[in-house]
């Protein structure tokens, strides 16, 4: 039996998960951590958080494997995307990671849009000019930290940092590179004209490889510290959302998935690059080398539920499974949350509105509003934001008969049921909600030639799932609320209310 460790580097936590070749989860070790918000619109994290946590979680899995006589064949790394870490000549970070949610580059993005045009860059990179991505973050460093910029030997992402820590190699894959706005999506190569905009050289970036490639062997000193074999293959599996797409069956046309962690990401399969005429839907490299996915992201979803737990549920902090208790409160509330409405734009709006000025909002609160109503409004607000993006994706890629879902929030039956009615589409939840790590396991097994393809892996795993169907009455309620949400967003955006409050929090 072949065993692999999937190392899933998320925004708020890291998980090292031991899988066997059947895709069965044998053991998992996880650690939480936090991003910091040093200034309005700035979101950062200390890169050493990831190196230290990687060693802790890998050590925990290695100890379990040793106690049961299990031999590990590879480590497969997947991670969050579009963050930036400048590295010096000695391989040390020069600055905290500028995270994917960071919005300090709004002005730079406006300038890029004026100088180069949103459609032109979209057709080359598959992305939309937005603070989310890396090109504008590099320009910000050049203009605001010129000495640091001059000392930077490599501009890398979070997955690249973890791979470097484990192997000593600067290697990235097509999925991560397709979130930088520096790679030509059609050729899977760094684009010289885009590098020129960023004022950097190709040798300041990582070597580009297909997802599923072996980046190198585990360094001897790390192997000894973690209790793993020296030179154990470390596989670069790619972006967390592209890996989740593998595990959820987005391996052929007509398939879509919604993965809800810190943020939510809706993806569908594409055999070739697909470009939205209005630049609302992203296209990028898939974790299956040579194929593509379309994507509509939402920056903050699960993070809002966590924020609400920390700020408004102090009585649940010391109790086991506080999220289940929160869901139980929400289940006592009828669909529509008694009129309470959430706009989940706590760090700006991504698709479909792409408005970095937008802010989070609970609307229509009254003296009769309860905590349960607000919790249910969080679930409904997230589901309806995803639903708006699903409509965009259907227009672009065609019929979608079911949406496969994963991520921590989908452990709640209530959230899955709300999604089905908000999408007016069957929702399928798989036995393992941590789809990103399962996708990384799949990529490793393909790389090790244990299984023939990702699609074969999904078909084998597909039996372990639950289905949720739309409830006709709730479908009508959510359709009406969706129209009101759009009215509210337009009223705020068109009257410059968001911009008036920009920088105040």
Alpha-carbon span 128 to 290, nearest angstrom: 21
Asked if 3-247+433-458 and 298-431+464-501 have one fold, the answer is yes
| Six token digits for residue 174 | 């097509």
Alpha-carbon span 139 to 137, nearest angstrom: 5
- Dihedral in degrees, nearest 10, Cα atoms 310, 312, 316, 321: -60
**Segment (H or E) for 57:** helix 48-67
What fold characterizes domain 3-247+433-458? Nucleotidyltransferase; domain 5 (3.30.420)
Which residues make Cβ contacts (< 8 Å) with residue 75, sequence separation at least 6? 4, 5, 7, 58, 166, 218, 228, 232, 233, 234, 235
Beta-sheet pairing, 189-190 with 183-184? antiparallel
Q: What is the CA radius of gyration of the chain?
A: 22
Alpha-carbon span 78 to 162, nearest angstrom: 10
| Of 125, 225, 116, residue with least CA distance to 166 | 225
What fold characterizes domain 298-431+464-501? Nucleotidyltransferase; domain 5 (3.30.420)
User: In 10 A of CB 111, how many CB atoms?
Assistant: 14
Domain ranges of the chain: 3-247+433-458, 298-431+464-501
Per-residue pLDDT 10s for the chain (505 aa) are: 999 999 999 998 999 999 999 999 999 999 999 999 999 889 999 999 999 999 999 999 999 999 999 999 999 999 999 999 999 999 999 999 999 999 999 999 999 999 999 999 999 999 999 999 999 999 999 999 999 999 999 999 999 999 999 999 999 999 999 999 999 999 999 999 999 999 999 999 999 999 999 999 999 999 999 999 999 999 999 999 999 999 888 888 778 999 898 889 999 988 889 898 888 999 999 999 999 999 999 989 999 999 999 999 999 989 999 999 999 999 999 999 999 999 999 988 988 899 988 999 999 999 999 999 999 999 999 999 999 999 988 888 778 888 999 888 999 999 999 999 999 999 999 877 778 999 999 999 999 999 988 887 877 766 568 999 999 999 999 999 999 999 999 999 999 898 888 765 5
Alpha-carbon span 265 to 444, nearest angstrom: 23
Alpha-carbon span 301 to 309, nearest angstrom: 13
Which residues on adjacent β-strands are paired with residue 163?
Answer: none
Which residues make Cβ contacts (< 8 Å) with residue 162, sequence separation at least 6? 7, 9, 50, 51, 54, 77, 79
- Sheet with 402-406, edge to edge strand ranges: 282-285, 292-298, 264-270, 256-260, 402-406, 426-430, 465-468
Alpha-carbon span 377 to 142, nearest angstrom: 42
Sequential DSSP letters for 91-127: S-BSS-EE-TT--TTHHHHHHHHHHH-HHHHHHHHS-
Write a three-state SS string for 2-55.
Answer: CEEEEEEECCCEEEEEEEECCCCEEEEEEEECCCECCCCCCCEECCHHHHHHHH
How many residues comprise the chain? 505
């Amino acid at each position: 039996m072949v065993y692999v460790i999937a190392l899933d580097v998320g925004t708020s936590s890291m998980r090292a998960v031991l899988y066997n070749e059947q895709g069965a989860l044998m053991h998992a070790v996880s650690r939480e951590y936090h991003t910091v918000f040093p200034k309005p619109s700035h979101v950062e994290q200390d890169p050493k958080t990831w190196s230290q946590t990687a060693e802790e979680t890998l050590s925990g899995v290695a100890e379990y494997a040793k106690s049961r006589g299990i031999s590990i064949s590879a480590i497969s790394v997947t991670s969050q995307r579009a963050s930036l870490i400048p590295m010096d000549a000695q391989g040390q970070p020069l600055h905290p990671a500028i995270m994917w949610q960071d919005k300090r580059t709004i002005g730079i993005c406006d300038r890029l849009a004026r100088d180069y045009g949103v459609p032109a860059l979209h057709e080359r990179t598959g992305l939309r000019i937005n603070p989310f991505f890396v090109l504008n973050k590099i320009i910000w460093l050049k203009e605001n930290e010129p000495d640091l910029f001059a000392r930077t030997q490599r501009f890398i992402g979070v997955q690249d940092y973890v791979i470097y820590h484990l192997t000593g190699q600067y290697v990235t894959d097509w999925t991560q590179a397709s979130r930088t706005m520096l790679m030509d999506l059609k050729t899977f190569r760094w684009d010289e004209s885009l590098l020129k905009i960023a004022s950097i050289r190709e040798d300041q970036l990582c070597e580009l490889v297909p997802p599923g490639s072996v980046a190198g062997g585990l360094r001897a000193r790390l192997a000894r510290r973690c209790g793993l074999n020296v030179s154990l293959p470390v596989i670069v599996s790619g972006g967390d959302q592209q890996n989740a797409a593998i595990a959820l069956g987005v391996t052929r046309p007509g398939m879509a998935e919604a993965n809800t962690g810190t943020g939510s990401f809706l993806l569908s399969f594409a055999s070739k690059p697909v470009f939205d005429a209005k630049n609302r839907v992203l296209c990028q490299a898939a974790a299956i080398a040579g194929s593509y996915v379309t994507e509509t992201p939402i920056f903050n979803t699960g993070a809002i539920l966590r924020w609400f737990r920390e700020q408004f549920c102090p009585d649940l902090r010391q109790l086991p499974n506080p999220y289940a208790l929160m869901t139980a409160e929400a289940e006592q509330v009828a669909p529509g949350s008694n009129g309470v409405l959430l706009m989940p734009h706590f760090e700006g709006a991504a698709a479909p509105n792409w408005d970095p000025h937008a802010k989070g909002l609970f609307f229509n609160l009254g003296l009769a509003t309860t905590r349960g109503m607000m919790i249910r409004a969080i679930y409904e607000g997230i589901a309806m934001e995803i639903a708006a993006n699903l409509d965009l994706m259907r227009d672009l890629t065609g019929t979608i008969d079911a949406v496969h879902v994963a991520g921590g929030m989908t452990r709640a039956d209530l959230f899955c049921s709300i999604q089905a009615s908000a999408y007016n589409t069957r929702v399928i939840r798989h036995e393992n909600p941590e789809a990103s790590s399962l996708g990384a396991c799949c990529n490793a097994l393909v790389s090790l030639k244990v299984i023939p393809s990702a699609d074969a892996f999904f078909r084998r795993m597909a039996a372990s799932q639950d289905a949720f169907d739309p409830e006709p009455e709730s479908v009508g309620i959510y359709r009406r609320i969706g129209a009101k949400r759009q009215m509210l967003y337009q009223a705020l955006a068109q009257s410059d209310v968001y911009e008036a409050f920009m920088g105040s929090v």
